[in-house]
Structure 1
């Protein structure tokens, strides 16, 4: 059941993120899109705060964090994959709380 909920959330987030990116490209010039894409800078997965690692382990025990990113607001973007092959992106604050961006 947890996997079904996770897959549903990841699908929704993925579709929402895709729609927002396409809209941004239509309304903005190329330099604005580049700065938006660079809000998050890639960091090492081992550099994630313990609170985020604990939240992933608690809420998504079969997930593996493939990539991690951080922005100036101390928010984190995580690219995860599950054992069944599904993948998605989640966002968290430095305290391990899930957020919507």
Structure 2
């Protein structure tokens, strides 16, 4: 009978220890999820800021582009035509161009006709 009581006490003590370990594991998993959520939210905010920066362009007529910009397009992309043009406050130009073969793309240039990466 004594052995039965000792076995019961040891079993109860062991179960309690495993339950505490499970709670610690659940808390750690929750902390990891919260950190991942925070990182995702921060990345989304950064992406939103990057899009907002690029969207600061205002549309202008292709005829209003500086000669240096149109000359750079003609020189580097002789078969390209400028479909739309945009300018921002820093006098950087966003050009939507299409080639004779049907491909299209976006180019960025400064007011001197130098290509820039955005």
Where does residue 69 of structure 1 map in the other structure?
A: 86
| TM-score, with length taken from structure 1 | 0.67
How many residues end up aligned between the 2 structures? 77
Where does residue 46 of structure 1 map in the other structure?
A: 63
Taking structure 1 as reference, are residues 97 and 33 closer, same or farther at Cα in structure 2, changes over 3 Å only? closer
| TM-score, with length taken from structure 2 | 0.58
Distance of 2:74 and 2:50 partners within structure 1: 33
Where does residue 95 of structure 1 map in the other structure?
A: 112
If asked which structure has higher relative contact order (CA below 8 Å, sep 6+), I would say: 1
Taking structure 1 as reference, are residues 33 and 51 closer, same or farther at Cα in structure 2, changes over 3 Å only? closer
Distance of 1:93 and 1:71 partners within structure 2: 10
Where does residue 22 of structure 1 map in the other structure?
A: none
Structure 1 counterpart SS, 2:90: coil
Instruction: Answer 1 or 2: which has greater helix percent.
Output: 2
RMSD over equivalenced CA pairs, Å: 2.3
Uncovered stretches (5+) of structure 2, i.e. residues with no partner: 1-42
1:60 equivalent in alignment to 2:77: yes
Uncovered stretches (5+) of structure 1, i.e. residues with no partner: 1-25
Structure 2 counterpart SS, 1:57: helix
Instruction: Answer 1 or 2: which has greater strand percent.
Output: 1
Q: Deviations over 1:37-89 (max 9, x none)?
A: 53111100100000000011111000000000000111000000000000000
